Amino acid sequence: MSQTGISDQLPAAVRPAVLAAPAYHFTAHDAAIKLDQNESPYPLPAELTAKLAELTLASALNRYPDIQPFRLQAELARSSDWPAAGVTVAGGSNVLIQALIITAGIGRRVVTVKPTFSVYPLQAGLLGAELTELPLGPGFSLPLTALKEELARGPGGVLFIAAPAAPTGNPYSTRELQELQEAAGDEWLFVIDEAYHEFAGSDHSELARAQGTVVLRTLSKAAGLAGLRVGYALSSPELARQLAKAILPFSVSALQQEVAIAMLQQQELLAERIRVITSERDRLFLQLSGLDGVEVFPSVTNFLLFRVADAAGVYAGLLERGVLIRRQDHLPGLNGCLRVSAGLPEENDAFVAALREVMTGQPVRSAE
């Protein structure tokens, strides 16, 4: 027994798959400049913040929300040029990843690449699906031949491909994705995770008009609503009906729905923010390319992956200077790699100045 009088023994009822699964790893740090989670650097617009206060006061929070967020589905359908019956909304795309494995992966297989978004393998393990992760090819390219061979091996399940890729930031072509779609056939759900597609100007949703293909999207990145937790999937209406069964009812709150709708109606503002973020990403790429000891990889997302000789030392040095980025050097094929999100121009300037200091061992003097 613990000092609190509560047993500290683990119940035997806990499933072996849960015992074997690693916890999702994230360590929070206080830093003046936070560029570690690929978030939008922009807060809610002032008028939307005011509206949020009004919505909170006006909402009947003692009542359940809609069993499904029908009004948000309709708004997402309009903005995506998609039938509302084929839009599935959940409290973050992570929930949809879990629901997709519940729908087609339990007792079957999950296939993906590595490195990629860690939630795919984590949920596969927790839900008891057989997991296959195939290493990316040169230049972080898709291992198309190996993926097709795995799909042909059966027995079926879920194939996850992030396009644009994360954490590497590179795009995949429609032709490559079409090849995988054809190889997936009827036995696999083919999931194209487009979390960063707005920054790339890409759109693979046409592939999801075929039965068995799903496009995942999120309001956490370009829409700047990471704290709200809203993700959605585009698929055929029939597949959407089945996927909805794997999501708990009433899982999107009334406030989530209202704020998301209000933000989606700010398309001009969102387009301008995306333009600035991608411009800053490109500016950061040029600046990092000019630093000795830094190898930066091209990106079509809102982040950059770069390699240094001592990732742990550079990360720690930046944190000492109040700049928080993300280590990626523990991932397969990413030795020495770090990842930085594109922030506000002044945040990016501070990051580059701090990185120069760390890399040279000398303080950077401002121009007189």
Digit-by-digit pLDDT tens for the chain (368 residues) are 566 667 778 888 988 888 888 887 777 788 899 999 999 999 988 888 887 778 777 777 888 988 999 999 999 999 999 999 999 999 999 999 999 999 999 999 999 999 999 999 999 999 999 999 999 999 999 999 999 999 999 899 999 999 999 999 999 999 999 999 999 999 999 999 999 999 999 999 999 999 999 999 999 999 999 999 999 999 999 999 999 999 999 999 988 998 999 999 999 999 999 999 999 999 999 999 999 999 999 999 999 999 999 999 999 999 999 999 999 999 999 999 999 999 999 999 999 999 999 999 866 554 33
Q: Tell me the CATH number at 152.
A: 3.40.640.10
DSSP string, 204-273: -GGGGGSTTEEEEEESSSTT--TTT--EEEE--HHHHHHHHTTS-TT-S-HHHHHHHHHHHT-HHHHHHH
One domain, residues 171 and 318 = no
pLDDT of residue 367: 39
One domain, residues 307 and 182 = no
Domain-embedded: residue 365: no
One domain, residues 80 and 34 = no
One domain, residues 144 and 190 = yes
One domain, residues 245 and 279 = no
pLDDT of residue 331: 97
One domain, residues 187 and 80 = yes
Domain-embedded: residue 2: no
Q: What residue numbers bound the domain in which 22 lies?
A: 16-39+268-360
pLDDT of residue 205: 97
pLDDT of residue 63: 86
One domain, residues 330 and 230 = no
One domain, residues 26 and 75 = no
One domain, residues 148 and 261 = yes
| Whole-model pTM over 0.85 | yes
Tokens of 239: 């597949």
One domain, residues 118 and 94 = yes
One domain, residues 80 and 175 = yes
Q: In sequence order, which residues have a C-beta less than 8 Å from that of residue 34 and are 6 or more positions away? A: 324, 343
Count of the separate structural domains present in the chain: 2
Choosing from 265, 288, 316, the residue where a domain stops is 265
Choosing from 216, 231, 265, the residue where a domain stops is 265
Choosing from 265, 281, 308, the residue where a domain stops is 265
Domain-embedded: residue 258: yes
pLDDT of residue 366: 45
One domain, residues 114 and 201 = yes
